[in-house]
Structure 1
Amino acid sequence: MLELFIQPEALMIFATLFALEVVLGVDNIVFISVLCERLPVHQRKMARNLGIALAVAARIGLVFSISWVMSLTQPLVNVLSYDFSGRDLIMIGGGAFLLAKSLKELWMCFSHAHQQQASTVRAGIALVLLQIVAVDAVFSMDSVITAVGLTSEVPLMVAAILASAVIMVLCAEKINDYVMRYPGLKTLALLFLVMLGGMLMAEGFAIHLNKGYVYFAMAFGLIIETCHILLKKQNKKIIRRVYPQPCGWAVKAK
């Protein structure tokens, strides 16, 4: 088995799988962070860690059930002369859920009345975990079927999933803090999830879109928002240096 990991072709496949799993892992973390915001503070970290563990377990379980996963690509139902497989139905249903949930969160972000209501209404941890499991299943199915298209070597898939899981666990807290601390980043993350939900639905209807364009657009948006955050921090430092005793407008700028 060790010989497999020293072959150049296998290493390239592993790197591709690892990058894929990390990207999907970040998607999971963002969605989990948004859902966990509805929980009491003392339950958020536990729910987030449990959600990540469930995501990793689901992907590893699907890798070891390759024959069942691949059977989901066979036609299951026929609607208006179009064949839908089990995977198509999962992509459509999961994408619709992700799209609806992300749009709802965006609407609540821009609605002051609902924003105040959201701060007082707390969701039950069981409901939050159920939603996390549903989206984890969709992301896991998508990533495993894509991985199967790249290689038939199960050890490579498991290694890539475990390596990305380590990154997810190490970065989950930081990603969650940044997304929740900066409203612009949260809005950007929700817009990314809206696009991702739409893309999953499109894949379910056999409309294959290049995800690279979406990831590039979101990376560009992330760079712009990061520059905006750094600029605001720099302006605050200048205000504090020029006006040591804050006046009314300086306090408001903070």
Structure 2
Amino acid sequence: MDSLLSAFTDPAALAALIALVVMEVVLGIDNLVFISILTNKLPEAQQPKARRIGIGLALGMRLVLLSMIAWLVGLTQPVIDLGFSGPPDMHGAPTFETQFSWRDLILIAGGLFLIWKATKEIHHNVDPDGSDDVLGKDGKTAISFGSAIAQIIVLDMIFSLDSILTAVGMTDNLAVMVIAVIVAVTVMLVAADPLANFIARNPTVVMLALGFLLMIGAVLIADGFGVHVPKGYIYAAMAFSTLVEVLNIFARRAKMRKDGV
């Protein structure tokens, strides 16, 4: 209880809480984009339920990981060392390394999954003869509810690990981390349906979102190999691309009004 009160009364803890909430919300966007794209492939009646389950699982996984912080921190200890690394950068650190922890291996696996998934979706969107199935199995059935939830669980695990390790790096106050995670997931829950509906109404946004997933997958793999791309660069690029797409949407709508469509 004392740590909970300090999160709102201690200026340092409050500053950490605000910063962590912002960071967790930003990290949650990646998770939410994937959930939105995937659940839009389900029958319309099942989409809201799948989103709520996916976001609920994201919250549950984050809280479970927070309760296992000591074990989680241990995941950053090297378990595999291939014995070579890249040349030093301007700060003297290797440009890449092959000393892997469990966290690194999980990030690499998650990055590969994201790239595979985004590539399959892009192929599905650009191939005029492609099937209606997001997994490309056949042209008769849409993705099943169970398949969607299973894929959401896999990505929830990856994003939850990244989210909690970020929180651990920013503060050692457990109450602050719990509050930040709950607030961030609540924002995801509120934004889930509007974001999914926006993506469904604007097909070009789907390709932009898939491009984001490709980039995030590549960044996760790079992170696993010790190449740390500043997150600010990633989200600045995403924000700029989104702004350009929003301007394109406004331009298309203005043209349609002008043409009387």
Relative to the length of structure 2, the TM-score reads: 0.87
After TM superposition, give the deviation of residue 162 of structure 1 in Å. 0.7
2:57 — aligned with what? 54
List runs of 5+ in structure 2 lacking aligned partners.
85-97
2:146 to 126, 132, 149: 126
- SS in structure 1 at match of 2:80: strand
2:93 matched residue in structure 1:
none
Counterpart position of 1:36:
39
SS of the residue 2:81 aligns to: strand
- 1:212 equivalent in alignment to 2:232: yes
Tell me what 2:116 maps to.
Answer: 100
AA matched with 1:114: G
| Aligned pairs (5 A) from 1:61-72 | 61-72=64-75
Secondary structure (helix, strand or coil) at the match of 2:251 reads helix
CA deviation vs aligned residue, 1:101-126 (integer Å, no higher than 9, x gap): 01111121111111556574312222
CA distance in 2, matches of 1:91, 1:150: 20
Identity %: 37
Compare 126-135 and 4-13 and name the one that shifted more.
4-13
The equivalent of 2:94 in structure 1 is: none
Does the 8 Å CA contact 1:75/1:83 hold for their aligned counterparts?
Answer: yes
**What is the aligned residue count?**
241
Distance 1:80 1:125, change over 3 A: farther
Distance 2:112 2:29 in 1: 19
**2:144 aligned with 1:141:** no
Greater Cα offset, 94-103 or 228-237: 228-237
Partner of 1:231: 251
**For 2:129, what is the secondary structure of its paired residue?**
helix
Contact 1:38 1:121 in 2 (8 A): no
8 Å CA contact 1:30–1:179 kept in 2: the answer is no
Tell me how far apart the structure 1 counterparts of residues 9 and 246 of structure 2 sit (CA, whole Å): 38
Matches within 5 A, 1:1-254: 1=2, 2-80=5-83, 82-114=98-130, 116=132, 120-240=140-260, 254=261
Deviation at 1:4, TM superposition (A): 3.2
Q: CA deviation at 1:24?
A: 2.0
Deviations 1:11-43 (A, max 9, x none): 221122111211222211110122223322222
Please give the secondary structure, in 2, of the residue aligned with 1:78.
strand
For normalisation by structure 1, the TM-score amounts to: 0.89
CA contact (8 A) 2:66 2:178 kept: yes
Note if contact 1:22-1:164 (Cα within 8 Å) is conserved in structure 2: yes
CA distance in 1, matches of 2:132, 2:166: 41
Structure 1, unaligned runs of 5 or more: 241-253
- CA offsets 1:181-221 (integer angstroms, 9 cap, x no match): 11221111110111001001111111111121121111111
Contact 2:6–2:13, Cα closer than 8 Å, also in 1: no
The aligned amino acid for 1:37 is N
Letter in 2 for 1:90: I
